[in-house]
Amino acid sequence: MPSAILLPPRILFGRVTGWNDHPLQESEESKVSDDDATGSAVASGVWPVMVTPFTDEGEIDWVGLDHMVEWYVASGVAGLFTVCLSSEMYALSREEKLALAEGVVKRASGRIGVVASGTFGDTVEAKAEFVLEMVETGVDAVVLLVCQMAEKEEKDTDWKTKVEGLLNLTHDTPLGLYECPSPYHRVLEPQMMSWLAGTGRFHYHKDACRRLDWIEEKISASRNTPLQFLNAQTTTLLDSLRMGADGFTGTASNFFPSLHDWLCRNFDNPLADELQQFLNLVDPCIRHKYPASARYFQSLLGVEVGTHSRVRPVEFDEDDMKVFSALKSSVQVWQSKLGIETAVEAL
């Protein structure tokens, strides 16, 4: 992997107004200050499921990766989840998975956290071996793919037995959880979440259960443990934050993470419900031609990345361009309304 580069002078990365200096007060019930108290390796806030930039030839675009990381940092995110489904992880080789994680860690340079998936392999032993390789890249936690720990027809007891084996083989490596929908969607029930949180080994959880009753129970189970509960669903985000969720880690954070950052910090503000309605309204839009659409939208903001995808090659026609241009304008209106500085300014 090429060494990190300096950004070209034509792009200036700004910053999002910080939580402490924002004119609107942070909600008193926010759990942001609880990270150190619970000993979590993962900070509260927004954790985009990072898309991978590719060249037109289909290789990882390391220059684009550096630009992308800088944009995420400037947008106020707490960390990045790389080598995930949005990263097109199943289309990456073993070597590329490790190089990608290392590249993100190096560019982030301690300014934000980084986690990456690591349970690849046909056996528990093979998965554990890869976890130990992945943690050597410098990530803060290695994420366990829930659907990869047992076959679809296997029971939760079988799943738990395999996870126990992985825990034993990976020693004290900080871990995470991801209810990945591919190749099948296995959702953790609240009782299982309670056991996982109680082990003290898990620090990050990307929740995709889409059930508010379970979300509330899972949040309760994670309290006073290192496990940070991060919602992956846009439409339940505000409700989950008011229940005590630690942040957001959905696909929409690849488009306008500064808005999610504001909502995570100001969920009791009178504008929070209005912002949530806007996020709900545009959520179907961002799924159009995803994940290439995320790279296309970032390019509209000034991030130097292309739209090539290994898993879903697409082209953007005139209608697409109009839709995403309108989305960009709407996001900028909201940023202005909330006092958020733009993350990228073309000089």
Fold of the domain built from segment(s) 29-339: TIM Barrel (3.20.20)
Segment (H or E) for 260:
helix 257-265
The dihedral of CA 70, 71, 74, 77: what is its sign? negative
Rg (CA), the chain: 19
Section 65-85 average pLDDT: 97
pLDDT (tens digit per residue) in 264-278: 999 999 999 999 999
This prediction has a pTM of: 0.90
- pLDDT tier, 3 (very low <50, low <70, confident <90, very high otherwise): very low
β strands within the chain, DSSP E: 11-13, 45-46, 79-82, 113-117, 141-145, 175-178, 202-207, 228-231, 247-248, 344-346
| Residue 113: partners with Cβ closer than 8 Å, 6 or more residues away | 41, 42, 43, 47, 78, 79, 80, 140
Could you tell me the residue ranges of all domains in the chain?
29-339
Q: How many Å apart are CA 170 and CA 325, to the nearest integer?
A: 46
Percent of the chain past pLDDT 90, that is, above it, reads 87
Mean of the per-residue pLDDT values for the chain?
Answer: 90
Tokens at 244, concatenated: 């005590």
**Which among 73, 80, 69 is positioned nearest to 15, based on CA atoms?**
73
pLDDT (tens digit per residue) in 182-217: 999 999 999 999 999 999 999 999 999 999 999 999
- Evaluate whether 286 touches 255 at the Cβ level (below 8 Å): yes
